[in-house]
Amino acid sequence: MALILTLASPFPVSLAARRPRLPSKKTTHDKKQSHTSIGFGGDKKHELWRCVEGCGACCKLQKGPSFASPEEIFTHPSDLELYRSLIGPDGWCVHFQKSTRTCSIYADRPYFCRVEPDIFESLYGIHPKKFNKEACSSCRDTIKAIYGSNSEELCNFNNSTRGIF
Ligand code: SF4
Ligand code: SF4
């Protein structure tokens, strides 16, 4: 899954300097396995990020204007080229299998498809200690944008990540 942060999320210094954070347009934000708004008794302070099955929202690679663009995220031309090469005519990744909502190249997916602390730190400058919070927030923003704020996918994600201590 290519989890892209929204413009309202924390950005590396270089990005923040180029593009100011949007107010709270917080529309907010792995997929083989592949939601929430906390509100079902969950505790954001203690949530632990995990991908939930049947989602795949982050494999829609052409995201809306609330999300950071690939040009803003990647510093290496090869990464940008690879990202662009994955975008199908409908905006979804060409490797995303819609019938099963899984990744057909999961074991060999690009590094930027991996939701891991070191990847969040290198791409977004997010400290590993904040990984869970930011990854959960990013998933919610993405799921809301793709499936809606009242979607089953979002509910599943919230139920999956809340209250894991
Ligand atoms: S390569 Fe796989 S994990 Fe990455 S965006 Fe495409 S379908 Fe999703
Ligand atoms: S948006 Fe989050 S829960 Fe959904 S597939 Fe991507 S990483 Fe998994």
Q: What is the DSSP letter of 134?
A: H
Output the pTM of the full model. Answer: 0.78
pLDDT digits (tens, 9 = 90+) for 12-57: 322 222 233 333 333 333 444 443 333 333 455 678 999 999 999 9
Minimum-distance ligand 1 atom for the alpha carbon of 1: 3
Measuring from atom 5 of ligand 1, which residue has the nearest CA? 59
* Chain segment 106-130, per-residue pLDDT in tens: 999 999 999 999 999 999 999 999 9
84-103 pLDDT per residue, tens: 999 999 999 999 999 999 99
Which of 51, 93, 98 should be mutated for ligand 1, with most atoms under 8 A from CB? 93
- Give the pLDDT score at 93: 96
SS (H, E, C) 9-41: CCCCHHHHHHCCCCCCCCCCCCCCCCCCCCCCC
